[in-house]
Chain A
Amino acid sequence: MIIFDGVTKRYQDGTVAVDDLSIEVPGGAITVLVGPSGCGKTTSLRMINRMVDASSGRILLDGRDIRDADPATLRRGIGYVIQHAGLFPHRRIVDNVATVPYLLGWNKKRARARAMELIELVGLDPKLATRYPFQLSGGQQQRVGVARALAADPPVLLMDEPFSAVDPVVRTGLQDELLRLQTELRKTIVFVTHDIDEAIKLGDTVAVLRTGGRLAQMAGPATLLSEPVDAFVRGFLGRDRGIRRLSFISAKDVRLAPVPADLALDDENRPLGTHADGRALPYGTFDPETDSMRVALDAALLSPDGTAVAVDGDGRVLGVATREALDAVLRKYAGGQTGDGTPI
């Protein structure tokens, strides 16, 4: 766990980048710092590994004041990933990834073996290991950056807009990969971004900062969407908050109706389409176990008769969700409450 206790950073020119910030970053989860450009996100992040020293206040890492640690030693225990990956151009990929193990004095063989493990872990082709950074795409470089940050298995990972410089398709892939890795690794991750959608997708907790480095709101992504504390946070969250909030409501409570006769199925019980005048029309499906109400509603909107087809993990039909059934679930969550009355 990382605790910011009344942390202020005033740069030499008088700029107050972070103003009396007090937050608790829970261990083993992703905490996202989000806010407009210049609001002090990078400064906050860099105070954790002492790339920047706080002017006042304390930062505790697992109960210990980071000011008592030797900066270089502290940093070897904290992974760090930045926008342009910051790979060393003169070192091969495997040696880039092995950077911190080398610094920790591991022998070359062990460090490289560890680097190869990580190259595979982040989904890179091991053949890339002997290449130089310039021979990799931006997305691949970013994966190397993540592998390098994880090489010595640090409990804490700091990420400063790591996916901002790649195109949207690659970015989505990298985000999904990070979430997959995190279910395995359970690191304490502090992730900085200016992209609220990225924050909502990745964050277990999201801290919205306003200009001048003051905390505006810190909450889970669903709560943030349903209960922004003020006009600034509301404005920053942008449009379609209601629709986006549906991503956090499971579709497992939707009451399913039997499969109607006009839905054609194949031998394996997979839907082929809805017949009308002998033509197969498109339809939408969702998996109630894993999908959200946003997916279910989207499926309903894609179907000609407004019902969404529920399927299991193998694509076999479970039933259909009528508009009324979907609406019944949505009614329960109206006003930002979960079914049992707690805020979502």
Chain B
Amino acid sequence: MKSEPLIRWDWVTRNWDNGSPSAISTLLESHMLMAFLPVLLGLLVALPLGLACVRWPRLYQPTAGLVNVTYALPSLVLFSIFLSLTGLTPATVIVPLTFFTLAVLIPAVVDGLASVPDHVRQSATAMGFRPLRRLLQVELPVAVPVVLAGTRVATVSSISLVSVGALIGQGGLGNLFIDGWQRQFYTPIIVGIVLIVVLAVLADGLLVLAQRLLTPWSRARRDAR
């Protein structure tokens, strides 16, 4: 057997953007869609659910329990369940991943609101804020650092979990792993790993940047407490 180089660059350039559905750039795009959309949907769902859990604390245990059970199920099982509902479409990956992000984001919203110091909430009330305005202008902004920290975890794990979808043919960059294993050809595997890691690092960096810009007051607060 002739010694094979670890990575064959000519394969990478040939397959980067060749117009086929298995082009690397196409897979990257679908990977990003399937990773980020669940985080976005998760935030949209976690915000009202988290608020409800804070408003009616009895809701929190059952809600957290439910999303944690879905988190405990192997992702493949969840994908298979949804396969029968949504077929071979990205939705089969996006919907279960949304449930996964909820397991992180609902507690993040609840903890974020719990992180608002009591004296801040009290003084807002005493100044004459009504509940809705207090929530929008005081409690939620003060909760942002904790919610963003949860969003970082959800984003990175979502980026990595999309690959599992490859087993049902909807794995974005994960498809490169299947391709590589089947052909005993390492280049696609390495390309897939590198792109997923780079994607995760970039997304996380962007979120850190967003946090710096959105909450310039939060860094030192963490130091102070």
Give chain A's interface residues, CB within 8 Å of chain B: 49, 51, 72-76, 78, 80, 82-90, 99-100, 103, 132-135, 148, 158
Contacts and interface: CB of A to CB of B under 8 A. Distances in A.
A89 B126 contact: no
B84 interface: no
Nearest to A102: B137
B220 interface: yes
Contact of B129 (A72, A74, A90, A148): A72
Given A82-B122, A86-B122, A72 B130 contact: yes
Given A86-B119, A90-B141, A134-B224, A76 B128 contact: yes
Contact of B120 (A83, A89, A134): A89
B188 to A, nearest CB: 46
Nearest to A133: B217
B167 to A, nearest CB: 44
Which secondary structure characterizes the binding site on chain A? mixed
Contacts of B221: 89, 134
A84 B123 CA distance: 10
B142 to A, nearest CB: 6
Interface string B112-136: 0000010110111111111001000
B128 A90 contact: no
Select the residue from A51, A78, A84, A86 with max chain B CB neighbours within 10 A: A86
Select the residue from A72, A83, A89, A134 with max chain B CB neighbours within 10 A: A89
A82 B127 contact: no
Contacts of B215: 90
7 contacts: A83-B119, A86-B126, A88-B138, A88-B142, A90-B141, A90-B144, A90-B218
Contact of A80 (B123, B142, B217): B123
A89 B217 contact: yes
Contacts, number: 72
Contacts of A158: 126
A155 to B, nearest CB: 15
A72 B126 contact: no
A126 B30 CA distance: 53
Contacts of A133: 217
Nearest to B131: A72
B216 interface: yes
Select the residue from B128, B129, B144 with max chain A CB neighbours within 10 A: B128
Contacts of B124: 86, 88
B127 A51 contact: no
A133 B218 CA distance: 11
A72 B217 CA distance: 28
A73 B125 CA distance: 11
A103 B216 contact: no
Q: Which 10 A-B pairs have the closest CB atoms?
A: A86-B123, A76-B128, A80-B126, A75-B128, A132-B217, A86-B119, A90-B141, A72-B128, A84-B119, A134-B220
